[in-house]
Structure 1
Amino acid sequence: MDAKIRKAAVAGQFYEVNAAQLRKDLQAYFGKYAAVKGSRTIQAVIVPHAGYVFSAGVAASAFAQIAPDADYEHIFLLGPSHHIYLDKASVASGYDYYATPLGNLKVDTALCAHLIEDSQTFCFDERAHRQEHCLEVQLPFLQYHLKQVPPIVPIIVATQNYERLQQIAKALKPYLNAKNLFVISSDFSHYPSYQDAKRVDGLTAEAILTGKTQAFISRLAANERMGIDSLATSACGEAAITTLLMMTEGDEDIRIRHLEYRNSGDSPYGGKHGVVGYHSFAFSREKSFRLTDADKAELKKIARESILTIFTGRRYQPDSLSETLRQRCGAFVSLHEHGRLRGCIGHFGEDYPLFKIVEKMAKAAAFEDPRFPKVSRQELPKLDIEISVLTPMRRIYDLNEFTLGKHGIYIRKGHRSGTYLPQVAEEVNWTKEEFVSHCSHDKAGLGWEGWKTAELYVYEAIVF
């Protein structure tokens, strides 16, 4: 009876106040992403916070990435202050619940209070929350999509000070794990023309996809210097996005994916002048593929012994194999004698465990490369063995997720497919787009622009 409830401030303005109609609206927004298979690996999303008629479709594209039965312990919501500057972040420790037409969401007041007690960069100022829409508009998406919404931690970032943001990120980073979801609320370009918004918002998206804090901050400054008419800001949630990037930068298990882009000019309710841009991004936590020194030593031994067994008839049996060596991925084995290539065969695919494919490719490089005679027993001690392990492939949906020189590209459409290894970039002077276009045309037989409607995958090569 004494619960302190933060009442819905913008229901009936930014979104429907009637619960039944709001559910119908959300059903329509999520319906466009019915084919999306939600994941339990989503660590964070960046979503817009405008009126639903303008931006709800973009927001739904991000929330749809989350498995409805995902079992989070907390949802941290970070957004900008549109009403007050505090030079701090205000954590909603003074509310027991946030209310929406779909019901009340529990606030973890104990965790909110702990953050305030633990760091002077946090406080609770009711003025930052009372009329603020940026977090409120996200809540109905969570209530509709998730089977169970865990306690929330609403945070209004009411500062642009870089050192303050570093302190906020440091305090929140221990919670950046599989147990918690971070929802970052931000619109993008404010008030340029339709075409200018698309251009500047595209540049901002590229910066976010680098995962680098400084690249994002520098991009916003560069946007400002471009002299675009009526551009008031490139991201109103700059501080919240910066905080997320500070937390995720350098985390090798974080993958960033761009999902949707529209601006208010795409809505039947918006014009083509003075538009606002809306992006959605998903940050997922996926265990990176890593080879230890012991893994590499074992693979080299497997390669050499598999060649030797042809002469001795005694098959090499490793004492133990790590989980990594049992993963299914591709590999190439190259043999060199006094620096000259003596054989090279590889297998691109994920149908065999790594240890097994290295065994097969080592034998093939020694005895089946049609460019060279078979390796003799006398030559074996003189051979240097180089192994290129191709990490498991990862589907990408935007070319900004592909890094030239770091990633190999695999293109597939129907029965046609083709690939370029990462090191091909060192041999040619192509741009990223030219690299993919050549792979599409030369390797997959899909034409120069066939990649645009094909499935794209990236992978890396670990060479030793």
Structure 2
Amino acid sequence: MKRFVTMEKVIECRQARLSVLALLLILTVGNMDARIRKPAVAGQFYEANAAQLHKDLQTYFGKYAAVKGSRTIQAVIVPHAGYVFSAGVAASAFARIAPDADYEHIFLLGPSHHVYLDKASVAGGYDYYATPLGNLKVDTALCARLIEGCEAFCFDERAHRQEHSLEVQLPFLQYRLKRVPPIVPIVVATQSHERLRQIAKALKPYLNARNLFVVSSDFSHYPSYQDAKRVDALTADAILTGRTQDFIGQLAANERLGIDSLATSACGEAAIATLLMMTEGDDAIRIRHLEYRNSGDSPYGGRHRVVGYHSFAFSREAGFRLTDEDKAELKKIARESILATFTGKRYQPHGLSQTLRQRCGAFVSLHKHGLLRGCIGHFGEDYPLFEIVEKMAKAAAFEDPRFPKVSRQELPELDIEISVLTPMRRIHDLSEFILGRHGIYIRKGYHSGTYLPQVAEEVNWTKEEFVSHCSHDKAGLGWDGWKTAELYVYEAIVF
């Protein structure tokens, strides 16, 4: 059967073609108008050819093929050197992120190698960041809100044009994630702690499960191979405490070590400090050290003057947490329990939260005019928390053999400090123990002993010395007894 095409059909087809051509023209003009930050170090720090770059990334990630990615990764700290030196370390962190993680934004924070602004430059002047693997959309509206809302932010193209610290992270994200959300590139071009606090305060509302923070930093610059391993280990331990002051203080201490040719312990100091300012005090954040190497481990690097590379993952995990209401109730239980003893009665709390009914240990310390007046604790997990605090408060007041019993007249003069010990977790390697954050509990047969986390603030021990002293002084197992004992870690919530 012959088919006939009507004039109306011809016109309809022509109109459709014109519509497609018009759309293509609009898209072309739109792309011509787009402000694209072109790659500055492709072909230098990493491969400029897309196919070869993809193949290189496949190799770097291949080592971590067995790693199960998580959707709870909140932030990573990764190096930004040439891929032949540091890409394996960077991949160890990006591999921790689930490929199908559905983030709303990715915030990139890195140091400025070219300009000092006494501010952080947010890349709101670009619509896209380009790499050989394609363009990544910049959330210009969010960039604008940050700049408008905080004087510590600005946009200065000089900070971005040749800066490699953020650029080299982008291909990792493009390779790892099925969908890369809009990015917020931030070059931190200040060392002012006041400025960093402003930046951290402005960014902290975005520190949640919906967003990922990528913090870019290399570590020791230009010491010898062995000196780099030494100083980089000290810096890593400081980061693992989660405390900004510990990190900054360790960098200053590293300078005083007199290590030959050590130019810096962390070129991304400001970016790392900003992240720690945001995460410090967040009980749900867990920091893990993943990999360490330095340029001397690469076949392309010597061992006389090296650069160090660490990777860390910050994850958000459900864990033991005390609300302000929980803390207030425990303080009330402690004081009222002591008071009730004078009347021969027992204080009966009501409306306790589920957390206060959880079984864990606690210490109660009494101070009078700043001096210790009694301290007793229970380390086991055989009583509910509210009951342990009641028992330990009365024991600190009336059973500490170092002090006379507390009188009723003294009670108004006493300050009560409570240290709640989170549930213990078995560890199998000392690398899982974070000095200053974790308490250690050592057990072997009938021998056991513990040091609270805050003991680390009173002594100048390495983590190995800390555990050895606990083994010898507390558990009675000798200096090396911990090596064949069961090790547990816990944290103390002190208030």
Q: Tell me if TM exceeds 0.5.
A: yes
Q: 1:331 to 1:53 in 2, by over 3 A?
A: same
Q: Which amino acid aligns with 1:121?
A: A
Inter-partner Cα distance in structure 1 for 2:153 and 2:362: 52
2:55 aligns with 24
Q: Which residue pairs with 1:123 in the alignment?
A: 154
Instruction: Name the counterpart of 1:401.
Output: 434
Partner of 2:35: 4
Opposite residue 113 of structure 1, the aligned amino acid is A
Question: Highest CA radius of gyration, 1 or 2?
Answer: 2
1:89-123: CA deviation from partner (whole Å, max 9, x where unpaired): 11111111111222221110000011111222211
Residue correspondence of structure 1 range 267-346 to structure 2 within 5 A: 267-286=298-317, 287-290=319-322, 291-292=326-327, 294=329, 322-324=353-355
Match of 2:244 among 213, 230, 233: 213
Which residue of 2 is the match for residue 377 of structure 1? none
What's 1:59 paired with? 90
1:448 correspondence with 2:480: yes
Number of aligned positions between the proteins:
410
Q: Does the Cα contact within 8 Å between 2:73 and 2:97 map onto a contact in 1?
A: yes
CA distance in 1 between counterparts of 2:228 and 2:425 reads 30
Aligned position for 1:247: 278
- Measure the CA separation in 1 of the matches of 2:202 and 2:136: 24
| 1:362-398 per-position Cα deviation (integer Å, ceiling 9, x unaligned) | xxxxxxxxxxxxxxxxxxxxxxxxx997523457672
SS in 2 for 1:273: coil
Aligned to 1:45: 76
Report whether the alignment pairs 1:90 with 2:121: yes
Task: Give the whole-Å Cα distance in 2 for the aligned partners of 1:197 and 1:69.
Answer: 36
Aligned to 1:158: 189
Contact 2:433 2:489 in 1 (8 A): no
The answer to whether the Cα contact below 8 Å between 1:325 and 1:353 also exists between their aligned partners in 2 is no
Gap change, CA 1:297 and 1:123, over 3 Å in 2: closer
Q: 1:72 aligns with which of 92, 103, 110?
A: 103
Counterparts of 2:225 and 2:357, CA distance in 1: 51
Work out whether 1:103 is the aligned partner of 2:127.
no
1:135 aligns with 2:166: yes
Deviates more, 1:57-66 or 1:76-85: 57-66
For residues 321 and 146 of structure 1, do their structure 2 counterparts lie closer, same or farther at Cα, with a shift above 3 Å needed? farther
Aligned to 2:175: 144
SS in 2 for 1:401: coil
The verdict on how the C-alpha distance between 1:346 and 1:183 changes in structure 2, with shifts beyond 3 A counting, is: closer
Q: Distance in 1 between matches of 2:156 and 2:252?
A: 30
Report the residue type matching 1:448 in the other structure: D
CA distance 1:60–1:456, change in 2 (3 Å): farther
- Is the CA contact 1:289–1:392 (under 8 Å) kept in the aligned structure 2? no
Equivalent residues of 2:60, 2:87 under 8 A apart: yes
CA distance, structure 2, for counterparts of residue 98 and residue 141 of structure 1: 14
Percent sequence identity over aligned pairs: 75
Give the Cα–Cα distance (whole angstroms) in 2 for the partners of residues 154 and 425 of structure 1: 37
Find the counterpart in structure 2 of residue 381 from structure 1.
none
On the 8 A contact 2:442/2:450 being kept in 1, the answer is: no
- What displacement does 1:30 show? 2.1
Q: Distance in 1 between matches of 2:245 and 2:232?
A: 17
Superposed CA RMSD in Å reads 4.3
Residue in 2 that maps onto 1:222: 253
C-alpha contact (below 8 Å) 1:419/1:439 kept by paired residues: no
Q: Is the 8 A contact 1:409 1:419 kept in 2?
A: no
Structure 1 residue 196 corresponds to structure 2 residue 230: no
Residues in 2 aligned to 1:417 and 1:12: alpha-carbon distance in whole angstroms:
62
Corresponding residue number in structure 2 for 1:361: none
- 1:238 corresponds to which of 269, 276, 279: 269
**Preserved CA contact (<8 Å) 1:422 1:461:** no
Q: Which moved more, 1:415-424 or 1:256-265?
A: 415-424
State whether residues 435 and 453 of structure 2, in contact with CA within 8 Å, keep that contact through their aligned partners in structure 1: no
User: 1: CA distance between counterparts of 2:277 and 2:454?
Assistant: 30
Q: TM-score, normalised by structure 1?
A: 0.73
The one of 213, 216, 219 aligned to 1:185: 216
Letter in 1 for 2:489: V
- Residues 1:450 and 1:108: Cα distance change in structure 2 (over 3 Å): same
Taking the aligned partners of 2:216 and 2:488, their CA distance within structure 1 comes to: 29
Instruction: Output one character per residue of 1:422-451: Cα deviation in whole Å (capped at 9) or x when no partner.
Output: 46998xx995425535888998x9993875
Deviations 1:154-212 (A, max 9, x none): 00111222322222222212222222111110101111111111122122222222322
Gaps of at least 5 residues in structure 2 are: 1-29, 335-348, 364-376, 389-417
Aligned to 1:310: none
Residues 1:212 and 1:424: Cα distance change in structure 2 (over 3 Å): closer
Shift of 1:232: 1.5
Distance 1:18 1:440 in 2: 56
SS in 2 for 1:398: helix
Per-residue deviation, 1:143? 1.5
Aligned partner letter, 2:141: A
Is the contact made by 1:410 and 1:418 (CA closer than 8 Å) also made in structure 2?
no
The residue type equivalent to 2:195 in the other structure is: R
- Contact 1:212 1:249 (C-alpha < 8 Å) held by counterparts: yes
Residue 319 and residue 210 in structure 1: after superposition, are their counterparts in 2 closer, same or farther (change >3 A)?
A: closer
| Alignment partner, residue 346 of structure 2 | none
Does residue 1:14 correspond to 2:45, yes or no? yes
Q: Distance in 2 between matches of 1:417 and 1:73?
A: 52
CA distance 1:204–1:430, shift in 2 (3 Å): closer
Maintained 8 Å contact 2:241/2:435: no
Partners of 1:388 and 1:221 in 2: how far apart? 30
Tell me which amino acid in the other structure corresponds to 2:134.
Answer: G
SS of corresponding position for 1:274: coil
